[in-house]
Chain A
Amino acid sequence: MTGTGATTSPVLLEVRAVNVRFPRPRSVLDVLARRPASAMEAVREASLRIAPGETLGLVGESGSGKTTLGRAILQLHPVAAGEILYRGRSVHDPMPDWQRRLRREVQMVFQDPYSSLNPRMTVAQTLSEVLRFHAVVPAAGVAAEARRLMELVGLSASLADRLPRAMSGGQRQRVGLARALAVRPALLVLDEPVAALDVSIQAQILNLLDDLRHELGLAMLFVAHDLSVVRHVSDRVAVMYRGRLVEQGSREEIFARPAHPYTRMLLAAVPRVGAGKRARQVQPDTDLATPPEGCAFAPRCALAAEACRAGLPPERKLGPPPGAACHFAAS
């Protein structure tokens, strides 16, 4: 992201040209033949910023790299190139005090309510463990704090001694949220937190997140594939396609005036209520083989030209900070 340097608000999280790679396993033959290790580039030169209290929606389809990027911020994946800075300091700085601080200030909520909780620990045990380990409150106050957290996320106190298997998906997600909030983070990374929930429960959780944002002044990185959800929660939006950030902007800019052809395609594809039956154009399947040189979206893009296939488009600025990575970004 080549934003203008001066921003009035301090930046909480900054991701600079980050690459995340997953090495492909090599067979013995490959090693003997000295073939270089190839890798799958999950995230390529991604840059973004989040200000305190701000919600950035990171949107993309499968293979976009959005989940990988979210996890890399939490150091769940190693970064092959680039930097991730929290309050100006690299998250990979190994000083134990810094790492401990990071664990308290940056937390994550996971997608799958069925595997995100330890099946053998009750709600109370899960929360107490966090509170005790991080000494969030003195030992005597742990039980009370656990109760407070449950109340904060809308869980009835009677659920304290329940195991995950005796709870619904929505309830489990609330527990996951409580666990992440127990350390009182400044930044919360949410990886598709409502994708596995029914619409009515999803709405409850989204409203809860909204309340918490305002009550706690949380910054959030909301990773999702569902544009309607992202629109609902985000202040700013970043769009990813096949490992790259293709567009960033305020919610208003992205949804009202999308600049990148992929963003426009994505928006057009979202089903809407109210317009009745929609006539659609039938297209043949787009075979997504290895991304070519140049713009990864070129094979599917109506505006694609030689320049697109030849070289990576620079991120063109459309006014302040972000922009769209396209030769033909509309203004």
Chain B
Amino acid sequence: MSTAPASPAPAPASGRLRAELSRWSPSLRIGLGLLASIVLAGLFAPWLTPYDPLRQDYGAALLSPGPAHWFGTDSIGRDIFTRALYAIRTDLVIGFWTTYVPMLVGVLLGAWAGLKRGWFDAVLMRVIDTALAFPFLVLIIVILAILGPGTHNIYIAVFLVGWTMYARLARSEMLVEASKDYVLAARTLGYPTWRILLRHALPNIINSSIVFSMSDFVLNILLVSGLSFLGLGVPAPTPEWGAMVAEGKDFMQQAWWISTLPGLMIVITGVALALVGDGLTYRLGDRHVTGH
């Protein structure tokens, strides 16, 4: 039974931006900085390296890292550093599509089920339970076995399995939110369900899905890297970190740099995303705690 005193009126825009930035934890700042650097490196790859990622040069094969080739070269003479940079484009794009399309569909389905309940909810939950009963990777491989390898088929496979996690997450959040009075108020005011879903409830439950998508992004990159390792991923010779790790596995003794350095890129990207996810958890959750 408290009447919290009202905070002072909102400040002007520039002051607000600065105030917002000051609320970012070190994790968020470092993570975003790192991520931004990676994205820029991928965008400006042609200017950052003179080499062509696809050009083979048998004369320069298996060279160890040095002034000419910073990350060394692989078994057919391609510059690892160049390929690692160009692979940023491949991996980040794959990460994006395999994360945010399932998220969009999954969140909408789950939230709708949580709001309407009834038969839709019951059916959806059974489908989700079934999908999640199988090991994720096994399902993906089975689907790829049916569809055949290729980047677009990877998107389809991950989408078919990945939406379920978001649906479940969104649904449980919606179950809680739907009992809040402002949702009931929206119903008494006669707003249609889709409006209540999109305009009222969803913005208030999306936070956990956003945070989850950060780690999902990393996991999806790792997934595709794993599939490439198995030969089911992105077709050669497109540079992709996981494929590069796979190519280097036979040369671990004599040319460790072929696998290790792309692997390091995966780790750095993963850390960057994890930091952003961590920082977002606090920033998004912060609102409810402090009221600022």
Instruction: Indicate whether A and B are direct neighbours in the complex (CB within 8 Å).
Output: yes
Question: Which residue of chain A has the shortest Cβ distance to B177 in the bound complex?
Answer: A115
Residues of chain A with a CB closer than 8 A to B184's CB: 71, 76, 108, 110
Interface size class of B (residues with CB under 8 A): 20 to 34
A143 to chain B minimum Cβ distance, whole angstroms, is: 18
Residues of chain B with a CB closer than 8 A to A196's CB: 1
Q: Which of the residues B6, B182, B190, B287 comes within 8 Å of A167, measured between beta carbons? A: B6
CA–CA, A75 and B189, complex, Å: 11
Question: Which residue of chain A has the shortest Cβ distance to B186 in the bound complex?
Answer: A118
Q: Is the CB of A117 within 8 A of B3?
A: no
Q: Is the CB of A115 within 8 A of B7?
A: no
Interface residues in A114-134 by Cβ distance below 8 A to B read 115-121, 129-130, 133-134
Kindly state whether residue B283 has any CB partner on chain A within 8 Å.
no
Q: Which of the residues A117, A166, A201 comes within 8 Å of B182, measured between beta carbons? A: A117
Interface residues in B182-199 by Cβ distance below 8 A to A read 182, 184-191, 199
Contact with A along B159-201 (1 / 0, CB 8 A): 0000000000000000000001110111111110000000110
Q: Is the CB of B200 within 8 A of A166?
A: no
Kindly state whether residue B68 has any CB partner on chain A within 8 Å.
no
Interface residues in A95-119 by Cβ distance below 8 A to B read 99-100, 103, 107-108, 110-112, 115-119
* Binding stretch for chain B, among A169-177, A210-218, A287-295: A169-177
CA–CA, A76 and B183, complex, Å: 11
Q: Is the CB of B3 within 8 A of A170?
A: yes
Kindly state whether residue A26 has any CB partner on chain B within 8 Å.
no
Residues of chain B with a CB closer than 8 A to A176's CB: 185
Q: Is the CB of A169 within 8 A of B3?
A: yes
- Contact flag A183-B189 (CB < 8 Å), given A166-B7, A201-B3: yes
A222 to chain B minimum Cβ distance, whole angstroms, is: 16
Kindly state whether residue A252 has any CB partner on chain B within 8 Å.
no
List, sorted by A's number, 7 A–B pairs whose CB atoms are closer than 8 Å: A110-B185, A120-B203, A162-B10, A166-B7, A168-B5, A176-B185, A179-B185
Given contacts A108-B184, A162-B6, A165-B287, list 13 more A-B pairs with CB under 8 A: A108-B188, A111-B181, A115-B182, A118-B182, A118-B204, A119-B182, A121-B200, A133-B191, A134-B189, A161-B10, A167-B6, A168-B5, A198-B3
